[in-house]
Amino acid sequence: MPQKTEPVQSAAIPFWRDEAKRAIVFQIVALLLVAGAGYYLYSNTQENLARQSIATGFSFFDKEASFEIGESLIKYSAEDTYFRALLVGALNTVKVSFIGIVLTIILGTIVGIARLSSNWLMAKLSAGYIELMQNIPVLLQLFFWYAIFYEAFPSPRQALNPITGLFFSNRGMIFAIPKAHPAHAVMGWALLIVLVTGWFLNRWGHRRLDRTGQPFPALRITFALAVGVPLLIWLAYGAPTAMDIPVLRGFNFRGGITISPEFSALLLGLVLYTSAFVAEVVRAGIQSVGKGQIEAAMAIGLHPGQVLQRVILPQALRVIIPPLTSQLLNLIKNSSLAIAIGYADFVAVTNTMINQTGQAIEGVTLIMLLFLFFSLSTSLFMNWYNKKMALVER
């Protein structure tokens, strides 16, 4: 005790009692340990690679992949390079994730709102759906749907044909599409131009609302243009209605568009599983808006649509968006389970590459980099969004 009262001279403190110096020593030791472990693993790996004569580096990118991929968004054959094969896989991952995210948000919102419905039957059914989906592993769900598609549906020869041009078989769902026509390209471009114009129109409308208080129905005008302009172009080209109807040739269908059972099972499993979590997020978001807010909005004379658009949604979204993004990120990460049911996503293609070349380190690194890219860009977006939406307090 008496020592404490003595005047402390910093020079007299031994360095292991000096907090600042101890911190530096501690950090150096930690870094050295990590670096040492890293070096040990690295040298072992170098030795092992040399002994098993496994190549290193990414020179395999230019070599011929020599394996087929079931479905692809770009032209691909076994003679193409590994790089192109990996690109096909990455595009397939993006495809299933993108469609999955859109459907998950729609279904999750519906179930989340139904969970709060005053209709007893709807509320109970949604609650049951959420519990059921959340408590069964997503991989088991994928196997289940794949088994349904593969075992329960007949072969292409006995394909189910509920309406003309639509077939269900164990090779997937096949449906007719309009035959290619020059009008389609023009319609696509027109739609794009309308949407871009609509975006600027909306911004201008908001600015005018802020300046003058005059509302401008930009969304309605854009919607009308987006439907009307392509329709007019279609009519101007003489309303082409020829369809590309799939026909049975040999053991499979030709023509139309085929959605493979692998893709359908993966999409269905991911959407049903993730939407249960999204529904809970949406429910929590809506419940977080105080009743007084809604009553106040009604008291100042807003009609129900305006209450939803201007009072409930902006506040609920602030609560919904952060957990929603992490659920959607989970969906992207879970899409890597595609490998278990044979959908050629990035992980599945990389796995084939690892088996052929033995370059496991490069393969696993590529997988991690792709998913880290998704996650980091999502968290950048999140930070930006949080800043934008943060409550401006006095």
Q: Write the single-letter amino acid at 67.
A: F
Residues 11 and 126: their CA atoms lie apart, in Å, by 70
Minimum gap (Å) between residue 321 Cβ and other proteins: 18
Q: Does 372 bind other proteins (CB under 8 A)?
A: yes
Minimum gap (Å) between residue 394 Cβ and other proteins: 23
Q: Does 367 bind other proteins (CB under 8 A)?
A: yes
Contact residues for 174 (Cβ-Cβ < 8 A; gap 6+): 159, 166, 167, 168, 246, 253, 256, 257, 258, 259
Task: For residue 393, give the H/E element and its range.
Answer: none
- Closest Cα to residue 94, out of 324, 321, 341, 349? 349
Parallel, antiparallel or unpaired: strands 172-175 and 252-254:
unpaired
Q: Does 382 bind other proteins (CB under 8 A)?
A: no
Q: Does 296 bind other proteins (CB under 8 A)?
A: no
Whichever of 80 and 280 has its CB closer to other proteins, that residue is 280
Minimum gap (Å) between residue 266 Cβ and other proteins: 14
Minimum gap (Å) between residue 146 Cβ and other proteins: 8
Using DSSP's 3-state secondary structure scheme, residue 249 falls into strand
Minimum gap (Å) between residue 317 Cβ and other proteins: 22
Q: Does 160 bind other proteins (CB under 8 A)?
A: no
> Under rule CB under 8 A, which residues in 346-365 are in contact with other proteins?
347, 351, 354, 360-361, 363-364
- Closest Cα to residue 84, out of 74, 92, 95, 94? 74
For other proteins, which residue of 1, 12, 74, 121 counts as binding (CB under 8 A)?
Answer: 121
Whichever of 49 and 294 has its CB closer to other proteins, that residue is 49
Contact residues for 175 (Cβ-Cβ < 8 A; gap 6+): 165, 166, 167, 246, 256, 257
Contact residues for 73 (Cβ-Cβ < 8 A; gap 6+): 88, 91, 92, 95
> Under rule CB under 8 A, which residues in 228-287 are in contact with other proteins?
none
Residues 51 and 352: their CA atoms lie apart, in Å, by 22
Whichever of 151 and 210 has its CB closer to other proteins, that residue is 151
Convert residues 208-227 into a mask of x (bound to other proteins by CB under 8 A) and - (unbound): --------------------
Contact residues toward other proteins (CB under 8 A) are 23, 26-28, 30-31, 34, 41, 44-45, 47-49, 51, 117-122, 125, 131-132, 134-141, 143-144, 147-148, 151-152, 333-334, 336-337, 339-340, 347, 351, 354, 360-361, 363-364, 367-368, 371-372, 374-376
